[in-house]
Amino acid sequence: MVDQTLPEIAAVQSENKARKKQKDNYNVAKEAIKNLDAEHLEKLAEDIDELYEKKYGHDKTYKVVL
């Protein structure tokens, strides 16, 4: 049996928890977005583009995420 206290295992578990939290946040946001009308969807898209530029410092290149 593998020792669960190894630092490598703790790092993997932390990474998995962070990924799950991001996925959960995404799903909550997606559900909330379903209730928006066209005007607010457009505003949200603009806000997301602004946040992306602030965070990553360049224009967003869109890609498909499954």
| DSSP assignment string, 9-65 | HHHHHHHHHHHHHHHHHHHHHHHHHTT--HHHHHHHHHHHHHHHHHHHSS-------
Domain that holds residue 43: 7-56
DSSP 21: H
In angstroms, how far is the first alpha carbon of the chain from the final one? 35
Global pTM exceeds 0.85: no
Question: Residue 5: which pLDDT band, with cuts at 50, 70 and 90?
Answer: low
Residue 21 lies in a domain: yes
Asked, for residue 62, whether it belongs to a domain, the answer is no
Q: In whole angstroms, what is the distance from residue 11 CA to residue 36 CA?
A: 38
| Residue 66 resides in a domain | no
> Does some domain include residue 49?
yes
Structure confidence by residue, pLDDT tens digits, 9-58: 888 899 999 999 999 999 999 999 999 999 999 999 999 989 988 988 87
Query: How many domains does the chain divide into?
Result: 1
